[in-house]
Amino acid sequence: MQSLVPGAVLDDKVQLERRLGSGAMGTVWLARHLALDIDVAVKVLKHFDRDAEEIETRFAMEARAVARIDSPHVVRVLDHGCHAGFPYMVMERLVGESMAERLEREGWLEIEDVVEVICGVAKALDRAHALGVVHRDVKPENIFLCADGTVKLIDFGVAKTSTLGAPGLTSPGVMIGTPEYMSREQVVSSSGVTAASDLWSLAVVAYEALTGDVPFTGESLGLICVAICSGRHVPPTQLRKGLPEALDAWFASIFAPRASMPFTSAAELAQGFRATLLADRYAPEDPLTEDPLVEDPRVEDPQLPEVESPWRAPSLVVE
């Protein structure tokens, strides 16, 4: 089977222009949507001789799941299909950089930016969870910082859905996700994860954004899993000066061994994180303002405050 090349037209819909990046599963292209006359990003999976039908089914599920979430904090999916054996997904083109790229360059994020990222991802997660979608791979590589300041959650490729049919494509005993960001329940069984697993991962992202390090590491997958289950981590105040001591207790309440997730939603987690991190920056008589999203009234939205803090680094154009 021939590989796709620049200039190829997929199903008379989009024309591929150039590669933006490649991974183990496929390639993301800059493309032109012929009917809409706009630039788009197209995620094209590699052709797999084995399990091709199952992979195509999961890919289509991802496209439908993301399209239904319909949040400004989730990358928009415009279309999907399969061209000459290559499943593809047409998405909005994003301009900016991933949180991982920002951390690699700066080490950690400014306090206001950390709050903005966590609140933005929390809005995306609560919208997804309300529709029965668990992301299962929340990490800096899957958080995009747009040039206009918007935070977007991307790549629902390993998401678990309970509303779109065929939720059991993950085989029992198969570990899904990125080890350092997995919750204890995810380490034990990816097929049994709940929305609480995404909240754990979001807390890990918050820890890394503040300190530049993940809380749980190891020289092997097994040792990482042991560290996660033990809950032992370096308090963030020991890694970055100026953080409030109450933040150590906040993370400990989530990561403590045998502890259940103390928050019932991503919005609740983000509210607690923001209040703990920024408590000394607001006078008691000055309540934190809220800016609820105005979206689909059928889905209750997290009521999270916005922090006006434009990204400090020059934006990068993904092209």
Closest CA to 269 of 183, 200, 319, 185: 200
Torsions phi, psi for 195 (to 5 deg):
-60, -30
Residues known to be catalytic = 137
How many CA atoms lie within 13 Å of 53's alpha carbon, on the beta-carbon side?
1
Q: State the burial class of residue 231 (Cβ atoms within 10 Å of its Cβ: 0-12, 13-18, 19+).
A: middle
Sole residue written with tokens 């006359």: 37
